[in-house]
Structure 1
């Protein structure tokens, strides 16, 4: 005997769509104007016997190993102090932030602004040679060129876009009940396939 009822269940179907948070910023334009004030070198001398000591001058151009180690140690110490100060300042801002206060754009803005501009321009050698002479006379006057830098920089604008999660139900849960048996005929003789019972058998 076959079942007369077939029951099917349709599960729920949910679609989830996520959007990641992002930080948008508009980069400002920067302009730099450089002007030069020319210097000069004037030498006035008489025949003399000159003694030159160029150790410090050469050491400023091509430092010795001891000088390099001392300079790198000083730079490392300064970098450590600077990193400690920045981390302490940012940590304090994060701890003192209010619930609705947006601290991330402020930290990003401080990292891009307020830092002194380092053009990595220097005059070498940083010191001249030591000159000594016997007799005669020598007068040296040297005035270095002067560079004037004028920076014009527009401020950057930061916008923090929070993330988003969207749920969509594409299929509702359902139960489908279907009758799969044959029709019931009343009286039974109305069934086209009815075969009467043989009472004489």
Structure 2
């Protein structure tokens, strides 16, 4: 006995698809940044140094003295010469008194005259440095310098910019070119 057979034929669907891809654009702008560096604060305080020079002794050595001191010096020198003159005359009087009446005649007066009016020898010659060494006195007090430095922190301002995001979604459109089809036949 013969059994009937079934034949099945299929036709696939055919489509024409129009595919538009999605588009995406992402951009990250740079951050907006401002930086300022304020100048440091610099404070300098100084105390002046003091230089004292005393040249009065050097001026005296050169003979440059003021009128008051000059008057005092001349008065002192006159007083000393007066005392020397008194002393000399007292000595001469004592010398005359001791030799008086001894039959010397004029001999004591002549010896006193020779003492006073004979050639006098000058003192030894030597080199003298004018002004004398160490006659200028110098006193120096150094000054001070105080430096205060205060750094300033930088001022930084940052603004973060949001990313720019553009998205265009994709699209698919299709047209059916051939419809699907199934044929079933029974063969005997």
**TM-score under structure 2 normalisation?**
0.37
Greater Rg by CA: 2
**TM-score under structure 1 normalisation?**
0.35
